[in-house]
Structure 1
Amino acid sequence: MKLPSVPSYSQGAQDKALLSLTIGQAFDQTCMRYPDGEALIVRHQQQRLTWQQLAHAVDLHAKAFMALGMQAGDRLGVWAPNCLEWFICQFASAHIGVILVNINPAYRLSELEYVLKQSACQWLVCAQAFKTSDYHAMVQTLVPELAQRPLHSERFGDLRAVISLGAQPPAGFIPWAQLAVLGAGVSAAHLHARQAAVQPQHPVNIQYTSGTTGFPKGATLSHSNILNNGYMVGESLGLTAQDRLVIPVPLYHCFGMVMGNLGCVTHGTTMIYPSDAFDPGLTLQAVAQERATALYGVPTMFIAMLDHPQRADFDLSSLRTGIMAGATCPIEVMRRVISDMHMGEVQIAYGMTETSPVSIQTGPADGLELRVTTVGRTQPHLENKLIDAQGEVVARGEIGELCTRGYSVMLGYWNNPQATDQAIDSEGWLHTGDLAHMDENGYVCIVGRNKDMIIRGGENIYPRELEEFFFTHPAVADVQIVGIPDAKYGEQVVAWIKFHPGHTANELELQTWCKSRIAHFKTPRHFKFVEAFPMTVTGKIQKFKMREISIQELGEG
């Protein structure tokens, strides 16, 4: 007699209550609880603030924003790399009901224009420059009327002012230093009245999804969405006021501002920004010199730190935990992070911007095998299920599309109801587009994106599986698998390979190595050897770009 199959559905624990607070309330509570504790260290700006000092800075700038005329529901764009001012903008805007719009520091003119228009930004805070981008010149190109008072921009009818983080910005920009004077003119009672009107369900953040084709969509997130997600991530890590977390991931992304900033704020944990953008040496130095107990990063960051020529010179023994997320986490990299970087309690987290971001995470009690072969189990107060093409829940062990429901699901895409309806169904399930299978204990293994699956001669090939396989080769530091069209088989496999320093291999050697280890149809037809992969500023691999390049260089028509 055949036993009924168990459906691929799981519900997270309910034992920890969700926070029914706004971000401003949660921040203020922590600042009052640990006034003299070290709150934020920004190494590249030589800034070290206690919670009390940070609270003063946030309140002062929240009052300055009010003095400028910012109203509840206004959009404030922040276009800058990691810095103290980014943190202040995040929390000052949340205090007064203003919606923060995260703008990718790598954006150029057309991308900046799109985001400012799509979000109807009334206010913009920008750095002076970053890497090869002159932000002042780019803003002046888009807004030639900037020096007008009041501002009337032909392109951006909603834009009212641009605040510069530069020391001496050109005419038309409001200097950041001037905000302290403006803030001093607003009473604490006025600020508290504004803060009291803000509710947990109100929108607080718009983040534009990256790495896909087409125009980015603005995932709109509430106080409740991201505050609770940061809190639950921190709970899983066991963060306390004694922990010190190094945050080399971008603040403009959920990894930095939610899992990083909000995860720390809800636990009184010290936040450490090692540099304005990721640098492996500076990150290792920050861990060693600040005696950090936790470290965040995407796999490419951890690979760069592990392969850094001076890594052995840095004492990383203070590390206890951290998170590797944002992209597929290779098994061999995870093993080295645990053994070489002392991160014995490191966890994997899975999610997406639209789910605030984390919906699945490994736990502190999970053994190494579970941490390197799955992304964990459903987060507290959330549900996950795997469905087939007809929308039916598949049995445990079968592959299906992952769907998530619960407090973390975004309010919707900003000013895009059609895209919202395509992503979130009538029962509140967000369809991720990721393929996964779930074991008998509810652990989930991501096998790839719906659109990334390769079908060669009728055989389904999951890039994640092949990538994990290639990580076991001693010369391979990183690998990405894509498919390209093929007249005979439908698709062929292309492996993009990055070698460890001092190692190499050729196409024939790798194909021979594959021969006795994997099925012949999985062996890549083509190899491309590279120093780096196309990726977003957050470290997400852009497989669609890799596919386009592969078709141009290797396609057979």
Structure 2
Amino acid sequence: MRHDQEHQSIPNMVRTAARRFADAPALVDGDQRLSFRQLKDQMVQAVAATMALGIEPGDRVGLCAPNSVEWIVAALGIQGAGGIVVPLNTRFKAEELSYILRKSDAKALFAAASFLGNDYVAGLKRADPQLPALRTTVSLLGKRGEADLTWDEFLGLGADPAGAHEAIDRLTPDHVSDVMFTSGTTGHPKGVMLTHGQSLRAYGWMSCEYGFAPSDSFLVIPPFFHCFGYKAGWLASFLHGVTVIPMAVFDAGRALELIERERVSILLGPPTIFHDLLHHPGRPDRDLSSLRLSMTGGSTIPESLIRAMKKDLSFDIVLSAYGLTESTALVTTTRTGDTEETVARTTGRPLPDVEVRVTDPSGRRVPPDADGEIQVRGYNVTRGYWDDPEATAAAIDGDGWLRTGDVGHLDASGNLVIVDRKKDMYIVGGFNAYPAEIEKLLLGCEGIAQVAVVGVPDPRLGEVGCAFVVPAPGARPTEEDVVAWAREHMANFKVPRHVRFLDALPRNASLKVLKDDLRARYREGSADE
């Protein structure tokens, strides 16, 4: 039976997990250790407390906090009461948070009172004191700040477990579980509506395919406000009795310590996590033999990184995948048994019951190995953007095909190859240049640990590439070295005309490179020259 049909909703899945796994460890967060039975009990209390706050079915509730036990229990409490979780990026400023809360018409807010120097409720009260969500606020992580209730005071409201169970019983796979706002790299963020059934079905399949088992423990580093940390992280884990270890802020040394101490076996995340673990000076002194399974997303995954993850981080299995929020963040994935070359070069095949096609600008399918826009159709596609029918119609056509805005192709074996985002492409003298492809090639240059490429103005060619390079430890490549290597290994129009060196690439909380920041740095540097 499919997981959406078996479990009906995410909170009901947790009740099922409590029956199946009982006193096995569900969560380890610092000194907090909850069994599956204890997690279920806290969830039921949180559902009852959420109902006591006046949250009714369909109400949206903001949730702004780092990865933690409280984040998970708060989300389950909101969903169990029939509410819709609106996860908020903890790196956003008050004005950005206010926009999302107003756009979603959030009725309440759960937020950390102290994280990275932020009291989110206090900041919002200063920026937007009439914000409706501020009429009911709950603080997480121990401090009250300017919230109405502490976490313990909130849980104390949960005095009706029977009513909580009845509310969970009323949920179906078609109920909206969350509105995930996109990163907003091009204009205002848009709220992607996803249902309980979509997430349970997609990540139930993924976790079975990947071989999640009760003996596993999963250090969840990607943030919970992103599907990578939330759905591929704790949701997928609880389905199979996997112990979840939330990490609030990524620190390579701390992560290595946790891997050794908690015998972590699953670690998913973007390539930068594994790069930092590999190059941390304390790595050789840690016992990493428990590591078993990894999946890393993105289009720039060199084979050398996969080999190093297996050799130096002890992974048995390294996989790659592709998705976007509008597709429940899961479209394709490689499978166990695929070659390292397939994992590095492609993002694998579509999920069962999910279709992928590649089209030209007129909407016609292109042949295998020809680049075009990637489009997706299936149960995993969002039912639309919250309160934005025009954006929904622009993204999803009448036949249900989601226009991803990503460029790629399907190879002869049906594997999807991501070339780049449409918006990141630049044109060099009439030739389309795709930064992700160039970045992948540049990672083969000795002395380069990380690289990001952006298009910058050029008086003769219109645009050319500028490569922002983080050197490997101990390496000191020069601009001339990088350009000379590139001229030897790639077509001339792909060769970056400029190279800038950084200690670290600017990233958002999801660890995606902030390319607008890099373009701004180039402009500022050019103005100084």
Tell me, yes or no, whether TM beats 0.5: yes
- TM interval, shorter chain, is over 0.9
For 1:164, which of 126, 139, 142 is the aligned residue? 139
Q: Is the 8 A contact 1:30 1:265 kept in 2?
A: yes
Deviation at 1:72, TM superposition (A): 0.6
Q: Tell me which residue corresponds to 2:337.
A: 365
- 1:250 equivalent to 2:223? Answer yes
Distance 2:50 2:228 in 1: 26
Q: Is the 8 A contact 2:42 2:73 kept in 1?
A: yes
Work out whether residues 213 and 544 of structure 1, in 8 Å CA contact, stay in contact via their aligned partners in 2: no
Flag the 1:86–1:515 CA change in 2: closer, same or farther, 3 A.
same
1:216 equivalent in structure 2: 189
Q: Render the CA deviation track for 1:130-170: whole Å, top value 9, x for unaligned.
A: 113232431331465xxxxxxxxxx3246530111254525
Q: Is 1:54 the counterpart of 2:26 in the alignment? A: no
The residue matched to 1:473 in structure 2 has which SS?
A: coil
Shift of 1:82: 1.0
Counterpart pick for 1:173 among 134, 138, 148: 148
Q: Which residue of 2 aligns with 1:389?
A: 361
Q: Which residue of 1 aligns with 2:349?
A: 377
Match of 2:233 in 1: 260
2:374–2:408 CA contact under 8 A, matched in 1: yes
Give 1:130's aligned amino acid: F
Quote how far apart the aligned CAs of 1:33 are: 0.5
Q: CA deviation at 1:31?
A: 1.1
Helix, strand or coil: the match of 2:317? coil
Structure 1 residues 369, 326: CA separation in 2 closer, same or farther (over 3 Å shift)? closer
Question: Which amino acid counterpart does residue 211 of structure 2 have in structure 1?
Answer: G
Contact 1:326 1:540 in 2 (8 A): no
Could you list the per-position Cα deviations for residues 4-56 of structure 1 after superposition, in whole angstroms to 9, with x for gaps in the alignment? xxxxxxxxxxxx7452221122221111111011111113xx11111001111
Deviations 1:254-297 (A, max 9, x none): 00110001111111111112x31111111111111111111112
- Residue 411 of structure 1, CA deviation: 1.7
Q: Report what 2:452 is aligned to.
A: 480
Note if 1:512 corresponds to 2:520.
Answer: no
How far does residue 444 in structure 1 lie from its aligned partner after superposition? 1.0
Q: Which residue of 2 aligns with 1:33?
A: 20
Cα distance, 1:470 vs structure 2? 1.2
Question: Is 2:226 the counterpart of 1:239?
Answer: no
Q: Is the CA contact (8 Å cut-off) linking 1:298 and 1:327 kept in structure 2?
A: no
Supply the distance in 2 between the matched residues of 1:283 and 1:384 (Cα, whole angstroms). Answer: 36
The CA distance in 2 between the partners of 1:118 and 1:171, in whole Å, is 23
Structure 1 residue 327: deviation in Å? 6.1
1:490 maps onto 2:465 in alignment: no
Q: TM-score, normalised by structure 1?
A: 0.91
How big is the shift at 1:335? 2.4
Aligned residues: 527
Does 1:134 find its partner at 2:119?
Answer: yes
State whether structure 2 residue 189 is matched by structure 1 residue 204: no
* Structure 1 range deviating more: 190-199 or 391-400: 190-199
Of the candidates 409, 428, 438, which is equivalent to residue 400 of structure 2?
Answer: 428
Residue pair 1:331, 1:471 contacting (<8 A) in 2 also? no
Question: What is the Cα-based RMSD across aligned positions, in Å?
Answer: 1.9
1:548 deviates by 3.4
Runs of 5+ in structure 2 lacking a partner? none
Change (3 A) 1:463 1:170: closer
CA offset digits 1:61-89 (Å, max 9, x no partner) = 11111111110111111111111100101
Q: Deviations for 1:366-419, whole angstroms, at most 9, x for unmatched residues?
A: 111111111111112211110110000000010011111111111211111111
Mapped partners of 2:24, 2:274: distance in 1: 29
Separation in structure 2 between the aligned mates of residue 328 and residue 119 of structure 1, nearest angstrom? 34
Contact 1:355 1:410 in 2 (8 A): yes
Give the superposition deviation at 1:333.
2.1
Residues 105-135 of structure 1: CA deviation (Å, up to 9, x unaligned): 1111211111111111111011112113232
> In structure 1, how many angstroms separate the alpha carbons of the residues matched to 2:187 and 2:29?
35
Q: 2-side partners of 1:455 and 1:68: how far apart?
A: 54
Q: Give the Cα–Cα distance (whole angstroms) in 1 for the partners of residues 192 and 280 of structure 2.
A: 35
Q: 1:81 aligns with which of 66, 86, 91?
A: 66
Residues 465 and 496 of structure 2 are in contact (CA less than 8 Å); yes or no, is this contact kept in structure 1?
A: yes
Letter of the aligned partner of 1:533 in structure 2?
Answer: L
The CA distance in 1 between the partners of 2:415 and 2:266, in whole Å, is 24
Q: Give the structure 1 partner of residue 93 of structure 2.
A: 108
Q: TM-score, normalised by structure 2?
A: 0.96
Is this contact kept in 1: 2:140–2:150, CA < 8 A? Answer: yes
Distance change (3 Å), C-alpha of 1:306 and 1:27: same
Q: Provide the rounded CA distance (Å) in 2 between the counterparts of 1:28 and 1:192.
A: 10
Alignment of 1:439 onto 2:411: yes
Measured in 2, the distance between the counterparts of 1:234 and 1:271 equals 14
Per-residue deviation, 1:555: 8.0
Q: Which runs of 5+ in 1 are unaligned?
A: 1-15, 145-154
Contact 1:38 1:50 in 2 (8 A): yes
Closer, same or farther: CA 143–111 of 1 in aligned 2, 3 Å: closer
Counterpart Cα distance in 1 of 2:272 and 2:375: 27
Quote the sequence identity (%): 35
Q: Quote the offset at 1:172 in angstroms.
A: 5.4
Q: Contact 2:299–2:419 at 8 Å: present in 1 too? A: no
More moved, 389-398 vs 538-547: 538-547
Give the equivalent residue in structure 2 for 1:412.
384
- Distance in 1 (CA, whole Å) between partners of 2:400 and 2:231 is 22
Higher mean alpha-carbon deviation, 134-143 vs 477-486, is at 134-143
TM-superposition CA deviations, 1:478-502 (whole Å, max 9, x none): 0111111222112111111001122
Q: 3-state DSSP class of the match of 2:506?
A: coil
